[in-house]
Each structure stands twice: as structure tokens, then as C-alpha cells.
Amino acid sequence: MQHTSILLNRLLTVKDVSPLVLLQDTPRQTAKYLLLEFIHRNAEVPGVQVIFLSFETPSGSLDWIGCTNLRYIGCNRLSHEAIHDKVNCLLPGDQKSLILVDSLADIPAVDLVSFITPLIRPSSTLVAISHLPLSEHSSQPTPSYAPSATTQLLYLATTIIKVLPMPEVKIDEVDEACGTFLLPLGSNSRQSRLEFLHRRKSGRAVQGSFRFDFATHTLAFIQQSTTADESSGSTEVNHALLKNLTTFNLGTTEKQRVARDKVELPFLKAQEADVAGAAVGGAIVYEFEKEDDYDEEDPYEDPF
């Protein structure tokens, strides 16, 4: 979709501000190339200050990009308060900025919110990498009443980009069953697949898949192709699962599915630009029908 491609490109160039952009990667495909793409696209943008908070990246390893407005802060031996103070010194006032964090793995789950919140500014975009752990190499367990680190990040993030191998890296079933940690050939390449999700202020989500190539700095939208055979096959499977579960019918016919898809949902209709003169954003939309008995002189008759 063209609109989704434009939105992702505007986020990369900080033309649209997203308070927290979460990049999720795995050992088989790193998100560092996408993080470097943010630096590349804002290297010569006037008025944009780029701050790199490093937990894994050595000092001087970003010089080849040639970003004159880049400021590097090594965070390994600094407390969270000291990191916040350094960022505040580099960003006086409401200067437009891009703050990059190369890893959140070293921050305990109980300190994630207190670390991220002071870095979020009205005119700033915070981009952070979250390494998705493998099931057999999970981090320390959190109390049952506390949300996990991944749950907290997904709740705080306004934009979520999951970085996957492109093409998909496959592992032999025997090796995977043995629980052996393997990195096949082709892992962590400069080409990757991006699963993009952006949450608007209205609560509506925009999502799409992209093919990203860091070597050429290009993004290509991936069309989600679903053939009729696949859809009919999935429908037959669903009906087979629901069959004989109850004494009444749980499935739907083709006619019922078509009628359901044509129903206009009220919360989507309320977000349109102009609906019967109503205001945008959660406004009440009511259209009178001929059966309605409306009395203009009755003040309690107004549905609004």
C-alpha cells in the first residue's frame, strides 16, 4: 500500500514524530542495519540532532557513515540518571532530535519504564532495539504479578518493526528438535524483511510488510497475496474443526460471510473526515430514519 510506504519513509526521515519506535530482532537477523538506516537518512538533515546511546557498539565504529550531527554516548558504565543528564545537555529546549538505543537487553525489566520515559520528548523520536530471546535461552524470570519486558515495550511503543531474515532462514528439523543453537548461512545479512506496525493517535493501526536492503537503502512493499484456493481451504479446515462440537451450527455460509464483510462498523465510520457534519475523532454519528418519532420542541429528544 502506497500510504504505508510513505508513512514508513517519513518515520525514517523524522518528518513524522513517533515517540517510541521499537525494533525487534533475533540472533538470526539483526536490526542494526535498520538502526544505521535512521542515521544515514538524517545525516545531512539540518536542525535534526542525532544521539546514539551505545550499550554494544564500540566508539568510532560509526565514523564511516559521515553523520556530522551525530553524538555518541557510551552507556556501559553510566547510571540511568547520568545517561539522562547527558541527553538533556545535548538537547536544550524542544530541538528536533533522533535518539537511538542499540540494545535494551542490559536494562532490567523493572527499570525499563524509568529508563525510557525521560528520553521521550514532544519533538523527538526514540528508536530502540529489543533482542527477542530464544525460548531455551530466556532471561531471568519476573514475578507472576509483573509484566515481562517484552509486554512493557509493546505497550509503550507507538511503532513496532519486527526484523526477519530475507529470504527466510530455515533450520533442519532434526537440529531444531535437539535444541542446538545454530546460525545458518545467510543470517544477519543486509537484506531483511520488516513487519511494520504503527499506532495512530486515534487508536487505529497501520501495518504492512517491506523488503529492506541496506546496501541500496531501499524499501519495497510486499503484497499480501491470498489466493481463492487458500481461503477456501482454510474455511474448510475451520468448518471441520467446528463440526460435531455442539448441537447447533457454529459455522458460517458464504452468503453470511459476504454480508458480514459489508457491515459498516461505527468506530471506523466515526474516523472519516466528514460524516454528516460530525466532528472527527470519536464523534457520535446518528442518522434519523423514517420510523423515528422526533419532537424538535422536546429538549430531551436530542440524541447528541
Could you say which of 194, 223, 252 is where a domain stops? 223
Q: Based on the fold, state whether residues 7 and 115 are members of the same structural domain.
A: yes
Q: Reading across the β-sheet that carries 218-222, which strands appear in turn?
A: 70-74, 49-54, 97-101, 124-131, 20-25, 159-165, 191-199, 205-213, 218-222
Name the residue range of residue 65's domain.
2-223
- Return the percentage of the chain with pLDDT > 90, whole number: 35
Q: Based on the fold, state whether residues 216 and 277 are members of the same structural domain.
A: no
The answer to whether residue 273 sits within a structural domain is: yes
Q: Based on the fold, state whether residues 186 and 283 are members of the same structural domain.
A: no
> How far is C-alpha 285 from the chain's CA centre?
31
Question: Does the global pTM surpass 0.85?
Answer: no
Rounded average pLDDT over 5-26: 92
Q: Are the beta carbons of 125 and 18 closer than 8 angstroms?
A: yes
The answer to whether residue 300 sits within a structural domain is: no
Q: Based on the fold, state whether residues 46 and 117 are members of the same structural domain.
A: yes
Residue predicted with more confidence, 47 or 272 = 47
Sequence-ordered list of residues with C-beta below 8 angstroms from that of 5, at least 6 positions apart, any chain:
208, 210, 219, 221
Residue 163 is predicted with a pLDDT of 94
Q: Half-sphere exposure of residue 241, counting CA atoms within 13 Å on the CB side?
A: 6
Residue predicted with more confidence, 169 or 163 = 163
Weakest mean pLDDT among 23-27, 94-98, 117-121, 283-287: 283-287
Other C-beta atoms closer than 10 Å to the C-beta of 216 total 9
Provide the angle, in degrees to the nearest 10, between the axes of the packed helices 32-41 and 2-12.
80
Q: Based on the fold, state whether residues 155 and 204 are members of the same structural domain.
A: yes
Total domains present in the chain: 2
Nearest to 86 by CA among 97, 101, 96, 74: 74
Q: Based on the fold, state whether residues 282 and 175 are members of the same structural domain.
A: no
Q: Based on the fold, state whether residues 41 and 110 are members of the same structural domain.
A: yes
Residue 27 is predicted with a pLDDT of 86
Q: Are the beta carbons of 219 and 210 closer than 8 angstroms?
A: yes
The CATH code of the domain that includes 180 is 3.40.50.300
Q: Based on the fold, state whether residues 42 and 134 are members of the same structural domain.
A: yes
Q: Is the dihedral of CA 232, 233, 237, 238 positive or negative?
A: negative
The answer to whether residue 109 sits within a structural domain is: yes
Q: Based on the fold, state whether residues 196 and 250 are members of the same structural domain.
A: no
Alpha helices in 62-201 (DSSP H): 80-90, 112-116, 149-156, 173-177
Nearest to 97 by CA among 148, 139, 46, 63: 46
Rounded average pLDDT over 216-226: 83
- pLDDT tens per residue across span 22-68: 999 988 899 999 999 999 999 888 888 999 999 999 888 888 888 88
* C-alpha to C-alpha distance for 77 and 64, rounded to whole angstroms: 25
Q: Based on the fold, state whether residues 248 and 213 are members of the same structural domain.
A: no
Q: Are strands 49-54 and 97-101 parallel, antiparallel or unpaired?
A: parallel
- pLDDT tens per residue across span 109-161: 888 889 999 999 888 999 999 988 744 334 555 566 777 778 888 888 999 99
Residue 137 is predicted with a pLDDT of 37
